[in-house]
């Protein structure tokens, strides 16, 4: 048993009627990666947010190296030795990369009230270079970088000062293969230095691979801690859910013929710097998987087809030749799109669950030209419950939901809309094992009903397990096409990604 570094003692937290943490006590040791797992809404982010100054706990204490930590905010938390990489975007738009890295700690570059921007940029660049991220320019605005790069910048921002505790909150699913490796390198370095990394992830295999100890929360209650050696995915699932759950997530059928009917035709589509002259067809009742490394342009493909890309060249048409050039075109013709960047591109974060779910269906919900609040609520409630969204009610603001539950709201919206053509970018990002199985079952059901799905994913097993056909992209182009087959291996796909 290692030497104790941090003790969370009887941490209690309510949000209104939600008892998010019920007197949780967990011990974290020096020099370990300690995973924190649990279903969506079990309290993982709340616990680590209370530690790092994002939320204020109701009661309980955190003792770090024998001293109480009581962080008023994240910067204060950093000064007390705790840091966090948050689940969603943790950097601020409108600021430069360097300003983000040193946010709240600019004093070191300020003399007589004047900030020495050149010195700050230089220092930030030194840190970026030392992490191997030298292609990121510290002086540029953060908005010049994509979701993944912004996460890498956040890694630098959270670790350059060697915190004693680093929380990594569901970060791996925001990153591609390369980004994940970079993150694991940083996590291992922190462990070797005697710090503790609190690692939150829904990927149980990754959890067992990376962690030394694993603690489990269920509905805000601490269930227990086991070592890596004691852990199997089945044991972890059982601890999380409180009962045995099956292993068989994916489709089991092979050899089904894909319909010849084309429902979307993409011809010579280019988006500068992202997609290069791409053509593809989606068939009725087909799940078309698109994979690749995160920089390969695949995330832009979803946007381009949905009419959401800026300056798209080429054409996207439906089977009957109808062009899709804008988001209203797409919605009008029964298309749906769930972005990887759900807080910024999928959800209206400061609206309620009800408003978010009803958004594309407002016209359909009108009766005699009138939209009633009651109809909206019943509609939202039905589909939120169908997705097992953990909420106090559909009047709750989306901003108050756990990450996985936000994703469920995005999916509930499009199930409610009953769209025929569905583009899902990273559909199970941040989703717990139980709901993941539900989402796959839903996709399979939709396919059988003749709906067509484009599934963009960095999860190779998800592509192999769910898609009828897989396109692998590299450098904005398609670099391989594979038909569903039992013989297809992850290495077949990876070979075409790199
Ligand atoms: N700001 C908030 N206002 C109201 N309720 C909140 C707020 N933040 C979290 N909650 C609620 O507290 C509970 C625990 O949420 P938390 O985000 O800690 O879960 P989690 O285990 O991190 O889930 P996930 O795996 O989905 O990220 C949930 O019921 C959530 O809706």
pLDDT of 112 > 70? The answer is yes
Q: Report the CATH fold assignment for 4-241.
A: Rossmann fold (3.40.50)
In our burial notation (b when 16+ CB lie closer than 10 A, e otherwise), range 411-446 reads bbbbbbbebbbbbbbbbbbbbbbebbbbbbebbbeb
Query: Which residue lies with its CA nearest to atom 5 of ligand 1?
Result: 400
pLDDT in tens, 439-453: 898 899 999 999 999
**Where residue 243 falls among pLDDT bands split at 50, 70, 90?**
low
CB atoms within 10 A of CB 5: 22
Beta-bridge mates of residue 423: 337, 454
As for ligand 1, residues whose beta carbon falls within 6 Å of it are: 15, 18, 20, 38, 40-46, 170, 390, 400-405, 430
Percentage with pLDDT > 70 across the chain: 99
CA of residue 234 to ligand 1 center, whole Å: 24
Same topology between domain 4-241 and domain 262-497:
yes
Is the sign of the CA dihedral 481, 485, 486, 487 positive or negative?
A: negative
Q: How far is CA 319 from CA 194, 215, 283, 455, in A?
A: 59, 51, 9, 19
pLDDT given at position 122? 95
CA of residue 390 to ligand 1 center, whole Å: 9
pLDDT given at position 295? 80
pLDDT in tens, 305-314: 999 888 899 9
Would you kindly state where each structural domain of the chain is located, as residue ranges? 4-241, 262-497
pLDDT given at position 435? 79
Query: Which residue lies with its CA nearest to atom 17 of ligand 1?
Result: 402
409: CB partners within 8 A, 6+ apart: 347, 353, 356, 357, 384, 387, 389, 398, 401
**Where residue 1 falls among pLDDT bands split at 50, 70, 90?**
low
pLDDT in tens, 262-280: 999 999 999 998 999 999 9
Q: Rounded to 5 degrees, what angle do the CA atoms 421, 424, 425 make?
A: 145
Using DSSP, state whether 56 is helix, strand or coil: coil
CA of residue 391 to ligand 1 center, whole Å: 9
Query: Which residue lies with its CA nearest to atom 2 of ligand 1?
Result: 400
Q: How far is CA 187 from CA 44, 129, 144, 176, 211, in A?
A: 18, 17, 26, 16, 10
Q: How far apart are CA 207 and CA 231, in angstroms?
A: 9
CB atoms within 10 A of CB 88: 17
CA of residue 238 to ligand 1 center, whole Å: 21
Query: Which residue lies with its CA nearest to atom 27 of ligand 1?
Result: 403
CB atoms within 10 A of CB 57: 22
pLDDT in tens, 222-238: 999 999 999 998 899 88
Composition of the chain by helix, strand, coil, percent to 5? 40, 25, 35
CA of residue 350 to ligand 1 center, whole Å: 16
pLDDT given at position 244? 56
pLDDT of 239 > 70? The answer is yes
pLDDT of 191 > 70? The answer is yes
pLDDT given at position 245? 56
CA of residue 175 to ligand 1 center, whole Å: 22
CA of residue 41 to ligand 1 center, whole Å: 5
Query: Which residue lies with its CA nearest to atom 3 of ligand 1?
Result: 400
pLDDT in tens, 332-371: 898 999 888 877 777 877 899 999 999 989 889 998 888 8
pLDDT of 397 > 60? The answer is yes
Could you give the count of Cα atoms lying within 13 Å of 447 in the half-sphere of its Cβ? 26
| ipTM exceeds 0.95 | yes
Please state the separation of Cα 492 from the chain's center in Å. 25
pLDDT of 130 > 60? The answer is yes
Q: Report the CATH fold assignment for 262-497.
A: Rossmann fold (3.40.50)
Q: How far apart are CA 287 and CA 293, in angstroms?
A: 20
Query: Which residue from 16, 45, 168 has its CB within 8 A of the most atoms of ligand 1, so it is best to mutate?
Result: 45
pLDDT of 408 > 60? The answer is yes
CB distance 150 to 89 below 8 Å? yes
**Per-position DSSP letters for 347-410, written without gaps between them:** --TTSBHHHHHHGGGHHHH-BTTB--HHHHHHHHHHHHHHTT---S-TTSBGGGS-HHHHHHHH
Q: What is the DSSP letter of 238?
A: H
Is 281 or 342 the better-scoring residue by pLDDT? 281
For residue 297, which phi and psi values (nearest 5 degrees)? Answer: 100, -5
Give which of 376, 23, 442 is closest to 217, Cα–Cα: 23
Mean pLDDT, to the nearest integer, of 84-107?
A: 86
Mean pLDDT, to the nearest integer, of 59-68?
A: 96
Q: How far apart are CA 185 and CA 177, in angstroms?
A: 12
> For ligand 1, what atom is nearest to the CA of residue 430?
25
Q: Mean pLDDT for the chain?
A: 90
CB distance 61 to 315 below 8 Å? no
Element (H, E) at 283: strand 275-283
């Amino acid at each position: 048993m290692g030497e104790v570094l941090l003790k969370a003692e009887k941490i209690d937290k309510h949000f209104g009627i939600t008892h998010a943490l019920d007197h949780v006590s967990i011990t974290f040791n020096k020099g370990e990666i300690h995973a924190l797992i649990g279903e969506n809404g079990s309290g993982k982010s709340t616990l680590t947010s209370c530690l790092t100054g994002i939320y204020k706990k109701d009661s309980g204490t955190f003792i770090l190296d024998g001293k109480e930590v009581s962080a008023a905010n994240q910067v204060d938390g950093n000064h007390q030795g705790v840091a966090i990489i948050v689940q969603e975007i943790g950097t601020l738009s409108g600021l430069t990369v360097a300003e983000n890295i040193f946010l709240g700690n600019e004093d070191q570059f300020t003399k007589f009230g004047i900030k020495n921007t050149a010195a700050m940029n230089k220092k930030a660049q030194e840190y970026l270079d030392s992490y191997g991220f030298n292609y990121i320019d510290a002086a540029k605005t953060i908005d010049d970088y994509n979701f993944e790069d912004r996460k890498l910048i956040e890694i630098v921002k959270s670790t350059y000062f060697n915190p004693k505790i680093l929380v990594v909150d569901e970060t791996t699913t925001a990153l591609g293969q390369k980004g994940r490796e970079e993150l694991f390198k940083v996590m291992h370095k922190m462990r070797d230095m005697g710090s503790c990394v609190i690692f939150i992830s829904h990927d149980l295999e990754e959890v067992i691979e990376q962690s030394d100890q694993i603690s489990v929360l269920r509905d805000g209650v601490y269930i227990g801690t086991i070592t890596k050696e004691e852990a199997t995915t089945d044991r972890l699932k059982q601890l999380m859910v409180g009962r045995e759950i099956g292993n068989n997530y994916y489709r089991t059928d092979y050899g089904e013929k894909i319909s010849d009917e084309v429902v979307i035709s993409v011809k010579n589509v280019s988006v500068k710097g992202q997609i290069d002259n791409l053509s593809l067809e989606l068939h009725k009742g087909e799940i078309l998987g698109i994979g690749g490394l995160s920089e390969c342009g695949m995330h832009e493909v979803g946007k381009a087809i949905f009419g959401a890309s800026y300056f798209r060249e080429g054409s996207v048409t439906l089977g009957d030749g109808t062009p899709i050039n804008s988001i209203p075109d797409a919605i009008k013709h029964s298309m749906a799109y769930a972005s990887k960047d759900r807080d910024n591109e999928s959800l209206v974060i400061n609206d309620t669950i009800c408003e978010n779910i009803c958004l594309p269906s407002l016209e359909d919900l009108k009766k005699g030209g009138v939209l009633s609040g009651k109809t909206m609520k019943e509609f939202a409630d039905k589909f939120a419950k169908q997705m097992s969204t953990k909420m106090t009610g559909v009047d709750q603001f989306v901003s108050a939901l756990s990450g996985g539950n936000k994703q469920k709201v995005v999916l509930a919206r499009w199930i409610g809309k009953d769209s025929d053509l569905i583009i899902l970018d990273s559909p199970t990002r941040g989703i717990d094992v139980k709901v993941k199985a539900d989402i796959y079952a839903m996709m399979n059901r939709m396919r059988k009903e003749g709906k067509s799905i484009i599934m963009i994913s960095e999860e190779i097993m998800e592509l192999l397990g769910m898609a009828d056909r897989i396109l692998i992209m590299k450098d904005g182009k398609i670099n391989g096409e594979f038909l569903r087959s039992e013989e297809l291996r992850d290495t077949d796909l990876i070979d075409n990604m790199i």
